[in-house]
A and B are shown apart, each in its own frame.
Chain A
Amino acid sequence: MFTIIKQKLKEQRNSVAVYIASLVGYTFLMISMFPSMKKMDIDALISSYPEDFAKFFGDSGMASFGTIEGFLSMEFFSLFFILITSFYIGSAAGSAIAGQIEKRTMDFNLSQPISRTKLVLAEAITALFYSSLITVFVSSFTYLFCILFDVAISAKGIANFTVIATLLIWALYGIGLFLSSILKSKIGVMLLTVAFTLGSYVFLSLTRLVEKLQNLDMYSIFYLYDPEKLLRNTGFEYYQIYVLLGVFALGLAGSLIVFNRKDV
């Protein structure tokens, strides 16, 4: 199992470095823009927009665009950061099972003395490690850039955000891994994982707009993830951790059950 982990860490190292560099670069851009944006009285501008437009973006609406937490949440963390990371997660999940069967490298790998469970777990550990690394790097540099541009932000808030964002990404990985066990194509898994991510976000937004859907907001995975609240250090509920970990665990367990019964 460690042989596979070592190989996968090496294989994905460069692409993860690109993800980290790009996201850190985008973080720098956003935070560097904030002082100028703050001076422009964005709040007054936004309050002139229709109410539904504000509702689409959640409880915080756009009224808090003038705070660093609201600004980063709106411009980066609410969707963009998760969506970009979901490309990595979807690709990693797709490669774990479907990709290997599709490329037929699974035959040689499974002819080695390793169980199917350990094979998948090795892939999962690599993906969880790298996805956590992406989140930690982005969070850490967010804090550093805020210091650099003399913008006040709570370190505890950054830590809260890191925990929940990481668990959200892990939950998406669990879903992707399950898809990988039932689908036959790596690219299919990746696209479906990204589509699920985007779809969940859009669904949550719709529940805020459409009265009939208002009670269904808890069915979106993004219900458990409010970056602005996390960054403000209002803390998080333990149930968020349990549900996100539960989604990951269910996805992983489901993928193992399917893959262990599958003809390769």
Chain B
Amino acid sequence: MNLIETKNLTKYYSRGKVIGIKDLNLEIEEGEIFGFIGPNGAGKSTTIRLLLDLIRPSSGSGQVFGLDINQKSVQIRRGIGFLPGEIFLQENMTGQECVDFYSGFKEKIDKNYLKVLLRRFELNLSKRVSAYSKGNKQKLAIVLALMHKPKLLILDEPTSGLDPINQQEFYNTILETKKWGTTTFFSTHILTEAEKICDRVGIIKSGKLLKIENIEDFKEKNIRTIFVETKESIPLSALKSAGLKKIGRTTNGYKFVTAGPNGEIIKALAKFNITDFKITEPSLEEIFLHFYK
């Protein structure tokens, strides 16, 4: 069963002058973790806000749990845990007051699970929201989204502001929710995050869904940026190997955008006097330029 389904969902802003999303056709299966990847302004948050009925579509339709997103939005939201892209809570409330307040909207809160979450994220609920750092606000919002064990999690850039340890706790928590059948739809611009936990990913750019891929196919692309430091001049013909998408100069050496296994390029580079190299995730702009058009 598809938990989320959209048909030609479209949203324009500024009286049609700015595209939010255009003709989005999406099907999210029950129980999967779906990552929605795209740069800033791609339409990720617009999609999420449309699903939650915070904004209304210009055309097209959407269903969550088989219910229309505009006509049955209250019923839909009973089964959802939502994490917004930026966390704005009542500043004069304490963390505990926030938990009590938002618990009042839920049918049932698993108090034991709530304690587990608070322990896992090391969150002190006695402080006022105004006293929380960005990371702690994010953790509080994650707890609020998860505490009622929703059927569907909709998360907008969920690890923003979290340190690496808490990021890992978050990934573990989401994988845990999958075990009891929760579906997760989350937006991100971090590839490695999607690679860690997603079953499928959707690539979105400028309001258009470019592709949906299984995570294994996505991982196989192994899109990486390699920075090489060298004082030598490397003849580029020596580096023409399968998967090399882009070559550029840096102040200290070269930058390569690659896809697939990097064994051949490492072997080719070993022939030269390389002082340092670094492998990182490329920017989304580079990914879209070379792999998704």
CA–CA, A161 and B286, complex, Å:
72
Contact of B77 among A7, A113, A261 (CB under 8 A): A113
- Specify which of B86, B88, B92, B105 is in contact with A3 (CB 8 Å cutoff): B105
- Mostly helix, strand, loop or mixed at chain B's interface? loop
Q: Would you call A234 an interface residue if the criterion is a C-beta within 8 Å of the partner chain's C-beta atoms? A: no
CA distance A223 to B128 in the complex (A): 46
Q: Contact check, B102 vs A264: say whether CB atoms are below 8 A apart.
A: no
Q: Is the beta-carbon distance between A105 and B89 smaller than 8 angstroms?
A: yes
B54 touches A108 (CB 8 A): no
A105 touches B101 (CB 8 A): no
* B82:A104 contact, CB within 8 angstroms: no
A115 at the interface (CB under 8 A from B): yes
Query: B78 interface residue, CB < 8 Å from A?
Result: yes
A16 to B74, CA, bound (A): 32
- Chain A residue at minimal CB-CB distance from B80: A111
Q: Hey, which chain A residues are within 8 Å of B22, CB to CB?
A: none
Cβ of B235 < 8 Å from any Cβ of A? Answer: no
- Answer yes or no: A215 CB below 8 A from chain B CBs: no
Closest to B79 in A: A113
Among B69-103, those with CB < 8 Å from A are 73-75, 77-78, 80, 82, 84, 86-90, 92, 101-102
Q: Taking each of A11, A104, A105, A107, which has the highest tally of chain B beta carbons within 10 Å of its own beta carbon?
A: A107
Count of interface residues, chain A, beta-carbon cutoff 8 Å: 19
Within the complex, the shortest CB–CB distance from B190 to chain A, in Å, comes to 22
Best-surrounded residue of A6, A111, A261 (most CB of chain B within 10 A): A111
- Chain B CB within 10 A, most for which of A2, A3, A261: A3
Measured between C-beta atoms, what is the minimum distance from A91 to chain B in Å?
A: 15
**Is B74 a contact of A111 with CB atoms below 8 Å?**
no
Instruction: Enumerate chain B residues within 8 angstroms of A2, measured Cβ to Cβ.
Output: 104
Partner of A264, one of B54, B90, B104, B144: B54
Instruction: From the candidates A6, A114, A263, name the one contacting B55 in the complex (CB within 8 A).
Output: A263
| Known contacts A7-B101, A107-B88, A108-B84; A115/B54 CB under 8 A | no
Which of chain A's residues have a CB closer than 8 A to the CB of B86? 104
In the complex, the answer to whether B105 meets A112 with C-beta atoms within 8 Å is yes
- Check if B245 is an interface residue, CB within 8 A of chain A: no
Tell me if B104 and A3 are in contact (CB < 8 A). yes
Q: Could you pull out 23 A-B pairs where Cβ atoms are within 8 angstroms?
A: A3-B101, A3-B105, A6-B104, A103-B88, A104-B86, A105-B88, A107-B84, A108-B82, A108-B88, A108-B102, A108-B144, A110-B52, A110-B53, A110-B54, A112-B77, A112-B102, A113-B78, A113-B105, A115-B73, A115-B74, A263-B54, A264-B49, A264-B54
A6-B104, A108-B88 known; 11 new pairs, CB 8 Å cut-off, are A3-B101, A7-B101, A104-B88, A107-B88, A108-B144, A111-B52, A111-B84, A112-B77, A113-B78, A263-B56, A264-B49
Which residues of B approach A to under 8 Å, CB–CB?
49, 52-56, 73-75, 77-78, 80, 82, 84, 86-90, 92, 101-102, 104-106, 141, 144
Minimum-distance CB pairs A-B, first 3: A3-B104, A111-B82, A104-B88
A residues with a Cβ closer than 8 A to B are 2-3, 6-7, 11, 103-105, 107-108, 110-115, 261, 263-264
